[in-house]
Structure 1
């Protein structure tokens, strides 16, 4: 299996990259599964050691970071799936048969189970784009992470951060300068400094400074080049947003998108989520044999129901509304915007 060009631990130290992974994984984990009987428990409660939300958030984060996420299926005596176990990518080896007709997975457990080999039907393998590039035939079955396209960007950011820290260290100078009219030794200088700080720092900070003719007070300003470094700290947010296919403003408040319309930006983000949701749903449909399974994205993009309210308002307006008042109330109640008790008079 190919190795990422940048380690995950290194990438997660970048705030924009961490923000992108957390944003996408959390929003998809907020989506609700639909049309999945009789496997209600395995998707709503996939594992008894961790909550459903955290389980799926972790699985999706692994998918974004490595391009692959492995979920081992456990079955009961009736061969029905009852539990999913997330397997770290470092513990999974993919095996392709000589005739390229069968795929198996060797799992190197770090507990008393040691090594086991399972068929493809018992492993939910979530993967992003499989390019099939290279001489290794397994590349047709292994996903590619956006992290690989950000190798140079993250290296540049790391070097830029180190240079910025060096500049800041050199720029940390005393803010005040007291000039004495005579040549003095270090002892006198220490006495003048200590007396000045005792009078105008601590509880006296901000009070009026009074100087006599024997000394003058001036202040140092931070170098303009250092300020430029500080303004460029989030310069790579745009590239990271591009790699993940989301609007840059979702990662950095200082970044502006070409679209000034908030709804257009949100629509772009929703469309971006589908590129991650579709391979997830497709794999679950195949391995759990649920051809009508869906992920309801509304919970992730419209948590307070404001978009639904706006859409219903348009459909109930005018002389010939598409929806009746009762139909509108039913939709709002079904989505949880209002409860039945709140609608009672």
Structure 2
């Protein structure tokens, strides 16, 4: 069986997401399985080239996973004509310049988000990708998660009737770092380093809302820095200059023209009392569903109970037991790996990836408008982006 190999420069692989999800749970399993099978029966194999600024860490990862090539010279791999794909999981502040350089060198690109710190930069990246004719993909991992795959299927099957609203809860307690070590890098809480809940998560919520319901038409947001001081990786106290929570209300227009109200709370200063770290509830005239990362439960109109408000008596109805779990009806693999495989097939076919840099620019736009909405205390409409 015929096979080709795509060489992939993977930059930022020492970070949590770059290492765990993109290298260990995506590219290496694809490599070890013999590559990705294409529609014509041929396969495309992958060869990762690790890129990073910390030589010791890069070397250690390469040796641990049997990866032959690694380097601290990003410019050299971007200029190397034998490398077809550049992947970026660096801190946001370094991403736009690297992606621009890669595309100007004819590389296909696959990248984490946000793609840039400003909307102008994000739009320029999308424009450059179109002009260069390369295949550009942006990680939209949550749409590939089993829970949201099931939720999307319910939407497509018309389960909800007319969709009315979406409510989302995301977050967990990130320790300050003084007594217990923080679970997230300190730069996440410094605005000058590209940190902040809004710039991190609103780009996710934009593609989740687009992928599940429809176009985001407006935003009203309130941001907060609930924890004003934290401690970094060296145990030094620093001032948190970025928001660690964002509370947003979004107006959505569905493909059929219906208006849906979505509200999503995002916080790194909240303790979890729900089944998963993120959950979305969609309510419609004919039914409702609640989806997390993996699980999705639903309740049809005919099976909806009729509770009566009575604060003088204990709750007698087992509300959680009145929902039915939505089956997977298929093998749902790791979401990051599934999108990598889709992107690689698009590269070989020379076609546009469905989640590209224009979608990412809309995410950056939503984050910018969310921050502005909070600062100005008002609802903002979202203009259409044109290249």
The TM tier, using the shorter chain, reads under 0.3
More helix, by proportion? 1
Greater fraction of residues in strand: 2
Q: Normalization by structure 2: what TM-score?
A: 0.25
**Greater Cα radius of gyration, structure 1 or 2:** 1
When normalised by structure 1's length, the TM-score is 0.27
